[in-house]
Amino acid sequence: MGREPIITVIGSINMDLVVSVDRKPNRGETVKGESFDTLPGGKGANQAIALARLGATVNMVGMVGDDAFGYELKSNLEKENVQVEAVGVTEGISTGVAVITIAENDNSIAVVSGANEKVTPAYIREYEKIIKQSDIVLTQFEVPISTVEEAAMICEKHGIPIVLNPAPFEKLSDSLLDKVTYLTPNQHEYELIKGYKRYFENDYQSKLIITKGEVGAVFFENEKPQIVSAFTVQPIDTTGAGDTFNSAFTYMMTKTNNIEEACRFSNAAAALSVLKKGAQLGMPTKEEVNSFLSEQQSE
């Protein structure tokens, strides 16, 4: 089987403030909440933990504030076997938070970046050695886009593949798109991307992996979309499903050149992730994903 991959995640570290309600409030309306939880989150941290659960050696590059949330989140990453050498603590700025409302088996999220804005190009250059020793890099847009562009330049310099999860959506420059190995928008982000002609040239279509929730995932082969169907489960909390998919896909692309196989594994991981509350609690191990896939094949 060979060694497990070394994967670097560059991205956000947040505390999720989660409110569960029976239904989403209308504009100007107050509704009574059912429960409240404080849970570790942030797309970067979520993806790092999902990768560690799958067995990868994971380096996290990010920032937290000099506050209770920050120290708790850094400790949580360590507990999950994520390397935190490159997780800085910045004074005078709060740790990032996400306010998540769960209703009707779906979620809506408002994010305050806080210390994540301090993950600058200069900051990640300090950790170029970590990046160049990686088998692959995963990043998103909850840190400044200039930082993502710098990460892509470092990866190109050292011949390291990079997966970009373009969430929350930002317009991608041609330069960044040229350097990205795989681009993983969800359906909403893909609709925004469709406004850019270059995304539909064949060379760029081949980089697209589109996540479509209950439908599954779509990639392009010879300019034709290929659907990898999702697995049917009864979700408890969909928060973190996209992060789990991205992590599983990144992990599997170090193991195989078969995108369809990687998407199937990632769909299974995402399905398992929604069976528990919170972005990180349900993220599965590699053994759990493989067991789930075996069960699906035997049915």
14 is an annotated ligand-binding site residue: yes
212 is an annotated ligand-binding site residue: yes
202 is an annotated ligand-binding site residue: no
290 is an annotated ligand-binding site residue: no
Relative to beta strand 14-21, strand 33-41 is antiparallel
Taking the C-alpha atoms of residue 152 and residue 148, their distance in angstroms, rounded to an integer, is 6
The counts of H helices and E strands in the chain are: 11, 14
32 is an annotated ligand-binding site residue: no
215 is an annotated ligand-binding site residue: yes
Helix (H) or strand (E) holding 8, with range, is strand 6-10
106 belongs to the catalytic site: no
42 is an annotated ligand-binding site residue: yes
70 is an annotated ligand-binding site residue: no
186 is an annotated ligand-binding site residue: yes
Catalytic site residue from 66, 67, 178, 243:
243
Q: Which amino acid is at 233?
A: V
Taking the C-alpha atoms of residue 163 and residue 248, their distance in angstroms, rounded to an integer, is 11
> CA 48, 53, 54, 56: dihedral to nearest 10 degrees?
60
Q: Enter the tokens of residue 23.
A: 């239904």
Binding-site members for substrate are 14-16, 42-46, 142, 243
Binding-site members are 14-16, 42-46, 142, 186, 211-216, 237, 239, 242-243, 267, 273, 276, 278
- Residues with active-site annotation: 243
Binding-site members for K(+) are 237, 239, 273, 276, 278
Binding-site members for ATP are 186, 211-216, 242-243, 267
